[in-house]
Amino acid sequence: MPRPIRTIPPLPVAAFAVAALLPLPLLTLGATMGGPALWAAFLYMALLTILIDEMIPLTAATPEGEDFPAADALLVGVAIGALLALPLTTWALTHAALNTPEQIALFLTTGFWLGQVSHPAAHELIHRPTRALFRLGTLVYVALLFGHHASAHRLVHHARVATTDDPNTARRGESYYRFLLRAWAGSFIKGLQAETALRSQKRGLHPYAFCLAGAALALILATLIGGLPGLLIWAGLAFHAQSQILLSDYVQHYGLTRATRPDGKPEPVALQHSWNTPHWLTSAVLLNAPRHSDHHLNPSRPFPALRLPDEAPCLPWPLPLACMIALVPPLWRRLIRPHLTRLRALQNEKQDTPP
């Protein structure tokens, strides 16, 4: 029997700020001194938010017609935090007097925060029309050695989601690990092709040149901070974050496809082409990234205003827990199968119902 879900009012931007930024001061203290602050940050990112969402299944109501002028300020704060967290953790892991368990906890926690909080913020920023905000979001991805995502996500993923032409849509039965390799290489290549095609209409530096040069500068900075170990740590943190970004893509589009119209083109993107999760605390930490269907329909909508319509397909687990399950492919396929089957049955029923 499903647990009852109580609806809570829309979360104010301040609630998102507390949930998303809380680990940063703990990480800063932990990086310099180790001890309880570091372990508190680790438990918050790795376990506590998921447990609270599982024990208290609330879901935020849908805001209608609201403006959130503070939302962009929070995104900027998170982005700056990410740009500082990378060199700080690299320094701490090469110079601070931390024992081995503390070093492991610091590495994992920083990677979790970069992949689960700074990524949603950067993702929001690259959808903003303001050039400065877009560039800041791109800079976060560049620091994560993932700069091509700013191109591939906007120009490829949003246009081709839920089709075989989208590298970031996981196919039914495909394991996360196979998807990881295909999506990384595919999005890099298709993003490059899309940006190159736009060069005939625009002037200036090719975005990939900026991304590759920026990645090189980031690794030079890492080497200046901690030598070869510093370079390896920065690259490891970047891969840790990238793997979570792609894991989120894997879960949020797994097995979903757009029907082909008689003219051979895919049907328009709709709510049923993304998986969502309604859990309140992880949604706050992840800046409403789990409300993925509405984002694909309205990419420019501010994250606090993203909606969760009743028709949007939802998974029963918080998004971070769904991602953990996906790391075990046989378990993921077994648990996701009934939800995928139920969704397809509903879609077939709608198609068979006369207007």
The whole-number pLDDT of residue 69 equals: 74
Domain region containing 163: 11-59+68-244
The pLDDT tens digits for 239-274 are 999 999 999 999 999 999 999 999 989 999 999 999
The whole-number pLDDT of residue 7 equals: 76
Domain-located, residue 127: yes
Domain-located, residue 190: yes
C-beta of residue 19 within 8 angstroms of C-beta of residue 284: yes
* Tokens, residue 70: 């503070």
Distance CA 209, CA 207 (A): 5
Domain-located, residue 34: yes
**Is the Cα dihedral 279, 280, 286, 287 positive or negative?**
positive
Is the confidence at residue 345, as pLDDT, over 90?
A: no
Domain-located, residue 271: no
C-beta of residue 58 within 8 angstroms of C-beta of residue 8: yes
Distance CA 77, CA 318 (A): 25
Distance CA 325, CA 152 (A): 26
Domain count, the chain: 1
Distance CA 252, CA 270 (A): 14
Angle in degrees, CA 275, 167, 351, rounded to 5: 45
Domain-located, residue 135: yes
Domain-located, residue 128: yes
Percent of the chain whose pLDDT exceeds 90: 84
The whole-number pLDDT of residue 350 equals: 64
Domain-located, residue 185: yes
Please report where in the chains the tokens 């757009």 appear, as a residue: 258
Residue 98: how many other CB atoms lie within 10 Å: 20
Distance CA 171, CA 162 (A): 9
Distance CA 44, CA 243 (A): 20
Distance CA 99, CA 297 (A): 47
- Read off the amino acid at residue 56: I
User: Does the pTM of the predicted model rise above 0.85?
Assistant: yes
Task: Tell me how far the alpha carbon of residue 217 is from its chain's centroid.
Answer: 24
- Read off the amino acid at residue 100: T
Domain-located, residue 87: yes
The pLDDT tens digits for 79-126 are 999 999 999 999 999 999 999 999 999 999 999 999 999 999 999 999
Average pLDDT over residues 138-160: 98
